[in-house]
Amino acid sequence: WAIYAPYVKAINELKAKRNAVILGHNYMTPEIFHGVSDFVGDSLQLAIKATEVEADVIVQAGVHFMAETSKILSPDKIVLMPDMDAGCSLAESITAEGVEEMRAKYPGAPVVSYVNTTAEVKAASDICCTSSNAVQIVDAMESDTVIMTPDQFLAQNVANKSKKKVVFWEGSCIVHELYKADDLRAYRESDPEVKIIAHPECTPEVVAESDFTGSTSGIIKWVHDNKPAKAMLITECSMAANIADELPEVEFAKPCNACPYMKKITLEKILYALHTMEGQVEIDPDMAEKAKLSVTKMIDLSR
């Protein structure tokens, strides 16, 4: 922590000077998560927070689609992205044309797009969802068939819990698709005490092997509530790193996979963004208005 202290101090001073808040995703490294974030959470919690902040500036300690969501919801605020290249394999897998392709294939079916999408895709969709409300949103659609984009695995996991017929785009998360059910089964055989907790961006086979599936905040809550002797978090590496100190009674089993996009966000880049005010997220106002409808419909249905 000593090496981070000067950055943490400088960032916290600049936050006060700029009247800024830092919204940190659960996948941020511990020095960002604990050291400088004013609010931490999963995608839904961060989106809701973006509608509530009173500061002039939001620094998004997360990936680009999260910063766009904040700008969509708070267009009058300055939203700073510490690294514009912090993308997401899901957001990059589909454009508005892809959404239209799905609409042409399944006429009349509503499009539920994961928040892990660009503003353009949100604008072309009927409603958004996150990992914490996807089943609820899909079930709330009137049609019997629902189109989900862009995560094929989230869509299949939702289909397993929903009464709807779910058709989907074939995108995937490069972090979660790496986990294999056979490996988890072998691990559990060698250590039957372990609790396996998976994010719903994992394959349905991996989800079937797990003891609990939920959003990043859902996972943190489950581990806090249940305090298993040993937990394996089938998600991004920083999740265990961020909660390990608070839960000394829980042993976190490896492996984990790091998200190369999330890991682009560093204290140095946050400091630079606050110092220079470079990296401001801009969205075409007409597109932002349409995208806002999809996001606010989701937030209203989730309350």
> Annotation-wise, does 43 bind a ligand?
yes
Min dist. Cβ of residue 173 to ligand 13P (A):
5
Shortest gap between Cβ of 9 and ligand 13P (angstroms)? 28
Residue 216 interacting partner from ligand SF4, ligand 13P, none (CB closer than 5 to 8 Å by kind): ligand 13P
Report what 57 binds from ligand SF4, ligand 13P, none; CB cut-off 5-8 Å by kind.
none
Q: Is 34 annotated as a binding residue?
A: no
Q: Which does 43 bind (CB under 5 to 8 A by kind): ligand 13P, ligand SF4, none?
A: ligand 13P
Q: How far is the CB of 233 from ligand 13P (least distance, A)?
A: 12
Question: Binds 131, which of ligand 13P, ligand SF4, none (CB < 5 to 8 A, cut-off by type)?
Answer: ligand 13P
259 is in an annotated binding site: yes
The nearer residue to ligand SF4, 7 or 169, going by C-beta atoms, is 169
The answer to whether 131 is a known ligand-binding residue is yes
Backbone angles phi and psi of 8, in degrees to 5: -60, -45
- Catalog residues that contact ligand 13P under the rule CB under 6 A: 26, 42-43, 116, 130-131, 173, 199, 201, 215-216
Q: Which stretches of the chain bind ligand SF4, using CB under 6 A?
A: 63, 88-90, 116, 173-175, 201, 236, 259, 261-262
Is 12 one of the annotated binding-site residues?
Answer: no
Any known ligand binding at 27? no
Annotated binding site: 25, 43, 88, 114-116, 131, 173, 199-201, 216, 259
